[in-house]
Copies of this chain bind each other. A is one copy, B any other.
Amino acid sequence: MIPRYSRPAMADIWSPESRFRIWFEIEAHATEALADLCVVPASAAKALWDWWATEPAIDVAAIDAIEAVTKHDVIAFLTWVAEQVGDEARFMHQGMTSSDVLDTCLAVQLARASDLLLADLDQLLAAIKRRAVEHKLTPTIGRSHGIHAEPVTFGLKLAQAYAEFSRCRARLVAARAEIATCAISGAVGTFANIHPAVEAHVAAKLGLAVEPVSTQVIPRDRHAMFFATLGVIAGSIERLATEVRHLQRTEVLEAEEYFSPGQKGSSAMPHKRNPVLTENLTGLARMVRGYVTPALENVALWHERDISHSSVERYIAPDATITLDFALARLTGVIDKLVVYPERMARNLDRMGGLVHSQRVLLALTQAGVSREDAYRLVQRNAMKVWESDGALSLLELLQADPEVTAALSPEEIAARFDLGYHFAQVDTIFARVFGD
């Protein structure tokens, strides 16, 4: 966890206090269920909840000190709780195994983290939508291979981002369901010493599904799927961040990250305004993606479990969720405050001497009866002259002066193909697909 890339609400989920609180709730709910089954006295559950009602502070240091001796975290915790609650506490954890607590706790934490991430995505989607609508018809050049292709609108770029993050949201909802399961099934998952009703009770109280079959642990294919999904979302963050970085390049400068008063772009060069937020997002995306492989390697535990997954999850569960939370919020801020330069977009769009209209002429020639190969050759030979002039020459004028072209199309027919609005006829259709009507 890097403080500079973390936000309090998400970081809090992963604090020792939060973890111990969830552990307690699992144990207390389970004791309650055990009491209902007459396995333990009802007074045991009552004692636990009574103590809890006093809103006790969790003494993390004391628990850690016990663990230094027992080398077992759950036993250390149970010992500490027993010291607080007294004799009735000995009924806690009856028939359970540590992993029942640890894995169910992780499920709660990941579910809560998912909820924060879903809220982040909602805010990001709202920001993208707002800017998409604002720039629905702001013309800008579409680029393939970094090379001018044909006109699009800036709103369309954002509509694509909206659709992409909507997919990310749906994936995260599915990923949340993957990990939001509860297992209270005992040492090897047989419920030998604990009735399935306990699991059902705890699951219901914590808003989790029941794990159909666990071993000692909840199977790690669930977590692998979860972290893989975060990795995919990180990829989408990188994509939008890269778009902004490109747009802010000195020679392009069609949009720019907001640059706050007092900010310094460079210690050496006072003129610099750099897309540092989106570059940062590119790096953060690498990290979130980097956690996917360890998560995939965690699946193949030995037999009913080994504990190799545990250290991995101590890193990646907080780091992946905290980093992604920060990244989504940062990206929302970037989009929200993005400074857009429509006039520069227009200038860039015009700079290639009308090359962006080459395809329409090609199609017109074909429809006028020229073979596809000839049409391509005719347009390309004029387009290349414009290209080599760096936009100083006009494609329209060259075509109108090419007798092989004018043999098929009149100058007026050619000129009619140089119409920007033509390209935006379907923007409404696309917006309706993406944002609904």
Contacts and interface: CB of A to CB of B under 8 A. Distances in A.
Contact of A232 (B221, B242, B315): B221
Interface string A334-369: 000000000010001001100100111011001000
A135 interface: no
Nearest to A272: B147
A299 B238 contact: yes
A302 B251 contact: no
A168 B213 contact: no
- For the side of the interface on A, what is the size category? 35 or more
Report copies per complex: 4
B231 A160 contact: no
Contacts of A156: 189-190, 213
B271 A187 contact: no
Contact of A300 (B71, B235, B270): B235
A179 to B, nearest CB: 11
A97 interface: yes
A348 B426 CA distance: 36
Interface string A219-239: 111101100110110111011
A290 B294 contact: yes
A154 B396 CA distance: 35
Contact of A142 (B142, B300, B303, B372): B303
Nearest to A289: B296
Nearest to A362: B270
Given A2-B314, A224-B235, A142 B245 contact: no
A44 B373 CA distance: 17
Interface stretch (A118-126, A304-312, A403-411): A304-312
A268 B303 contact: no
A395 to B, nearest CB: 8
Contacts of A148: 250
A384 interface: yes
Contacts of A160: 189, 213-215, 219
B390 A246 contact: no
Interface stretch (A50-58, A72-80, A106-114): A72-80
Name the 8 nearest CB pairs between A and B, nearest first: A142-B188, A235-B299, A271-B383, A145-B274, A283-B311, A270-B380, A143-B303, A282-B308
